[in-house]
Amino acid sequence: MLILGIETSCDETAAAVVQDGSILLSNAIASSMDLHKAFGGVVPEIAARSHIEVINPIIKQALDEAKTGWDDIDAIAVTQGPGLGGSLLIGVLTARTYAITKHKPLYAVDHVMAHPFATFINETNLAGYSLPASQPKFPMLALIVSGGHTQLVLFRSPFDYSVVGKTQDDAVGEAFDKVAKMLGLPYPGGPSISNSATQGDPHRYVLPDSRMPSPYDFSFSGLKTAVLRVLQAESGQGHDFPSFRLPEALSKSQVHDMAASFQFTAVQTLVSKTLRALIEFQPASIVVAGGVSANQELRSELENQLPLQPIYTDLSLCTDNGAMIAVLGGYMHKAGMEQADPYMLDIRPNLPM
C-alpha cells in the first residue's frame, strides 16, 4: 500500500510516499523559513505564495524519489487543519485536484494527531535517517510539542484517543520563539535557544513553574512574562522597557544564561507532567513528537526521568513533513474510513483535536 501525504499547514511545503505505514520511500520538503526570518516569524501571505510556487515540484520530487508514479499510489492524504488558512488551502486544493484527475481516494488528516505517527516509520532506504527500531505499541501516550500545540494524548488505537492535557495559552514552541526574540536570537527560536543554552548556566535565573488546576495541563505564557521581567531588571530597566530593545541591553552571558534557564524550566515542566501521566495511565509506549521533540535537552531529561524509554524519530520527521500525514492517512485507508469528497473538501484552520 503506497500513500502520498501532502502537508502545507505552516511554512513547510511537504510531500512524502510511505509504504505499508512504516517504510519511508521519499520525504520532499521545501521551507519558506528563510523568507520569514527577516520578520521574526511566519508571515501567512508569504507562506501561502511559496506553497503555490513549489507544491507541484515537491509532489513530483516525492514520486520520483520513491521511484514510483501515479499508477502505483493507492491513496492521497492531505492536512486539512489546523494551520494557516491560506497555506492549508493550497495543499487541500492540490490534493483534491490530483484525487479527481488521477482517480485516487482522498483522506483529510488532522495535522496535530498526525505528528506522533511519524514515529511509526521504522524503515527507509533514504540516506541519513535515524529511525526508531520498532513501532510504538498501543496504548500509546504521546507528548505533542510544536509551535502551535502542546498536549498529552492517550491513543488506545489510531482513532480512539483522549486528550489528557493541553496548554491553556501559548504552545511551548511558541514560547521558545518569543523568548528567542527577546534575547535577539534568530528565528526559529527552538534551535537557536538550545544552541545558546549550551554556553549558559541553567540555574542562574530561577523562573516560575506553572501551576494549573489539572496536573496535565500546561501554561507557558507566565514563563514567557517572567523571562521578560527578569531581562528588564537585568538590563537595569523598568517594566515599560520594550522587549525589542532588550537584545542591545544584554550581555552575551546574560543571553546564554537566560536561554539555558528558560530551556531548563520549559523542559522540566514537560517532563514532570509526562511522568505523572505515565504513572497514571500506564501506557505500553510513549512517543514524543512535533518540532520541539528535536530538542536534545528534552530528549535527555525524558530518558533520565521516565521509567519507559521514550520513542522519538529523526529530526527531519519531528518538524512538519508529509510522511506523518501519509502514515495516518494509510491507517484511515486500511480501516475503510470515510473518504473526503474531492469536489467538496474544505480546510479547517481551527480544527480541535
Residues that bind ligand KG4 (CB under 6 A): 10, 146-148, 173-174, 176-177, 188-191, 194, 290-292, 294-295, 319-320
Contact residues for 247 (Cβ-Cβ < 8 A; gap 6+): 182, 183, 184, 255
> CA-CA distance, 226 to 229, in Å (whole number)?
5
Nearer to ligand KG4, 19 or 274 (CB): 274
| From the list ligand KG4, Zn ion, none, partner contacted by residue 177 (C-beta under 5 to 8 A by kind) | ligand KG4
Instruction: Supply the minimum distance, in Å, between the C-beta of residue 196 and ligand KG4.
Output: 11
Q: Which is nearer to ligand KG4, 10 or 271 (CB)?
A: 10
Residue 5 partner contact from ligand KG4, Zn ion, none using kind-dependent CB cut-offs of 5 to 8 Å: none
- For residue 188, the partner it binds in ligand KG4, Zn ion, none, with Cβ less than 5 to 8 A by kind, is ligand KG4
**Three-state secondary structure readout of 99-112:** HHHCCCCEEEEEHH
**Torsions phi, psi for 164 (to 5 deg):** -80, -35
Q: Which is nearer to ligand KG4, 99 or 197 (CB)?
A: 197
Output the smallest distance, CB 118 to ligand KG4, in A: 10
**Residue 31 CB, nearest distance to ligand KG4 (Å)?**
9
Q: Which parts of this chain interact with Zn ion (CB under 5 A)?
A: 146, 320
Other beta carbons less than 10 A from residue 225's beta carbon: 11
Q: How far is the CB of 9 from ligand KG4 (least distance, A)?
A: 7
Three-state DSSP class for 30? strand
6 φ, ψ (degrees, to nearest 5)? -125, 130
Q: How is residue 135 annotated by DSSP?
A: P
Shortest distance (Å) from residue 322 CB to Zn ion: 12
Question: In this structure, what DSSP letter does residue 95 have?
Answer: H
Instruction: Beginning with the edge strand found earlier in the chain, give each strand of the sheet holding 75-81 in spatial order.
Output: 106-110, 75-81, 2-7, 12-19, 23-31, 123-124
* Type of residue numbered 281: F
Minimum distance from residue 113 beta carbon to ligand KG4 (Å)? 12
SS in 3 state form for 33-69? HHHHHCCCCCCHHHHHHHHHHHHHHHHHHHHHHCCCC
In degrees and rounded to multiples of 5, residue 30 shows phi and psi of -120, 135
Q: Nearest distance from residue 161's CB to ligand KG4, in Å?
A: 18
Q: 330, 20 in Cβ contact below 8 A?
A: yes
